[in-house]
Amino acid sequence: MKKWICSLLITCLFGTGTAVASPIDVKPQTTMPILESEAAVLLDARSGDVLYEKNGEKSMFPASITKIVTSALAIEQGKLSDVVTVSKNARNIGGTRVYLAVGEQKPLEELVYAAMLNSGNDAATAIAEHMDGSSGAFSKRMNAFAKAAGATHTNFVNPSGLPDPQHVTTALDMARIMRVAMQNPTFRVIASTQERKWDGAEWKSSLINHSRPFLQSYPGAIGAKNGFTQQAGFTFVAAAERNGQELIAVLLKAPTRNQITKEAEQLLTYGFTNFRTVQVARASQRFVHKGETLVARRDVYTSIPAKDEYTVDTDEEKRLLVRSTSGTQHLYADTLDAQSENSMDTSSSQSLINGSISRKSATAVGVILLAVAGGIMIYRRRVNQREVE
């Protein structure tokens, strides 16, 4: 009984503390990488925090990473089982193609694979025309998607990424777009597919993912899309996950394909080596600010240096405040709502320290558990006395 009570107290106050060994063996990247790409961003997909930035908000040409948006829209707002009839315009589009024929019919899902893996401009155009009648009309849908994802410096005018002075984005915007796209399970499957059979009217082959070298070689790789035009140079968006931490790297205008793949791997490894993602609030969790109970609207995650400890509190404006021991601070507005006094339950209010409840809350819980344990011991003595009698 005593061992059980001690175990219960430790578990309630400090959690299980279970450590899971990583199966991934990769050389750490402790120093910030020096990149040849003109612009780059490393984003924590769970928290949305930027871990590295080089010209992150500089207006650039995206090339075929545009097809991330086209494909995400087809998956989320289209019907993948729809049969798409290829137009003459889609058939004759320039650049990389999967050789669709005029009048050829393909399921929308197959066209998404063709756009993501083989970067078919004809497939992307066929998707746009099927969904909105024309590439121009579809571009409005693309821009609405980008804006909703938090991409504030992006303007798309076509579904493929073919050069146009008005077709621009930034590394930061593309990271935010990829973050939203990767929240869809179907998109994740397609973005990580390395090869798929293609049975077309004019071309029978296999769709080989142009990002296959990254998907094959980088530990934890879960999705990627590359691009290239003379104006844009080489562009690349890559996602990887290790031990529940998911990172997104975006690189724009690199000199070669091999270089941009290498730099994406360096950037991701730098993130996994030097940062960790922690949950700092749970949906409906309560926090007390000067006697007022505040309730978290949603789960909240943050990124902190890998070796840091952290505390969670509220600031004077009732925002969630996360501090780490190296001095990093994160403020989250529009996260906490005031709770009415009638439904207030301060027993579940807590401020977090390294994922555990704070000292005051821990003391309160400890007192309650000790009282329970005391009751159990008194009951046990009475039972023993009866047995003796």
Distance CA 58, CA 241 (A): 27
Between CA 251 and CA 181 the distance in angstroms is 17
pLDDT top residue among 22 and 157: 157
* Residues 369 and 247 both lie in one domain: no
**Residue 7 maps to a domain:** no
**Residue 207 maps to a domain:** yes
Q: What is the mean pLDDT of residues 2-8?
A: 35
d(CA 155, CA 29): 34
Q: Which helix (H) or strand (E) holds 42?
A: strand 39-44
R_g (Cα) of the chain, nearest Å: 26
Element (H, E) at 233: strand 233-242
Q: Reduce the DSSP state of residue 169 to 3 states and report it.
A: strand
* 108 within some domain: yes
pTM of the predicted model as reported, rounded to 2 decimal places: 0.82
Q: Which of 30-34, 36-40, 87-91 has the lowest mean pLDDT?
A: 30-34
Shared domain for 329 and 376, answered yes or no, is no
Q: Are 194 and 302 contained in the same domain?
A: no
275, 295, 327 - which closes a domain? 275
168 vs 148: CA distance, rounded Å: 17
Residues 225 and 334 in one domain: no
Instruction: Report which of residues 348 and 141 the model is more confident about.
Output: 141
Same-domain pairing of 269 and 307: no
User: Does residue 370 share a domain with residue 223?
Assistant: no
Q: Which of the given ranges, 99-108, 323-332, 368-377, has the highest pLDDT on average? A: 99-108
Instruction: Return the structure tokens found at 144.
Output: 């609405």
167 and 219 together in one domain = yes
Q: 271 and 315 in one domain?
A: no
| Spacing of C-alpha 33 from chain mean position | 21
More confident site: 68 or 387: 68
User: Which tokens sit at 309?
Assistant: 């400890």
Residue 347 tokens, joined: 């027993």
> Does 20 reside within a domain?
no
For residue 230, what are the contacts with CB-CB under 8 A and spacing of at least 6? 163
Structural domain ending residue among the three candidates 226, 244, 275? 275
Is 17 a member of any domain? no
339 domain residue, yes or no: yes
Q: Are residues 148 and 213 in the same domain?
A: yes
Q: Residue with structure tokens 């159990």?
A: 376
Helix (H, G, I), strand (E, B) or coil at 16: coil
Q: Are 91 and 180 within one domain? A: yes
Q: What is the DSSP string of 274-332?
A: HEEEEEEE-TT-EEEETTEEEEESS-EEEEEETT--EEEEE-TTS-EEEEETTS-EEEE
**pLDDT band at residue 32 under the 50/70/90 scheme:** confident
Q: How many structural domains are present in the chain?
A: 3
Q: Is 80 exceeded by the pLDDT of residue 380?
A: no
pLDDT digits (tens, 9 = 90+) for 220-272: 999 999 999 999 999 999 999 999 999 999 999 999 999 999 999 999 999 99
Instruction: Starting at the earlier edge strand, list the strands of the sheet with 352-353.
Output: 329-332, 320-324, 310-314, 352-353, 356-357
10, part of any domain: no
Least confident of 28-37, 50-59, 262-271: 28-37
In a domain, 109, yes or no: yes
The answer to whether the beta carbons of residues 194 and 216 sit under 8 Å apart is yes
Sign of the four-CA dihedral 347, 353, 355, 359: negative
Give the contacts of 217 (CB within 8 A, at least 6 positions apart). 265
- Inter-CA distances, 370 with 81, 91, 377, Å: 60, 75, 10
Q: Are residues 211 and 307 in the same domain?
A: no
Residue range of the domain that includes 382: 359-389
- The separation between CA 307 and the C-alpha centre of its own chain, rounded to angstroms, equals 22
Burial of 49 (C-beta count, 10 Å sphere; 0-12/13-18/19+): middle
Tokens 């004759």 correspond to: 92
Q: Which residues of 203-236 are buried (b: 16+ CB within 10 A; e: fewer)?
A: eeeebebbbebbbeebbbbbbbbbbbbeebbbbb
pLDDT at 96 over 60: yes
Helix, strand or coil, per DSSP, at residue 387: helix
Q: Which of 212, 242, 275 is the last residue of a domain?
A: 275
Question: Do 303 and 346 fall into the same domain?
Answer: yes
Residues 281-328: pLDDT tens digits?
A: 999 999 998 889 999 999 999 999 999 999 999 999 999 999 999 998
pLDDT tens digits, 262-285: 999 999 999 999 999 999 999 999
CATH number at residue 130: 3.40.710.10
CA gap 224, 51 in Å, rounded: 19
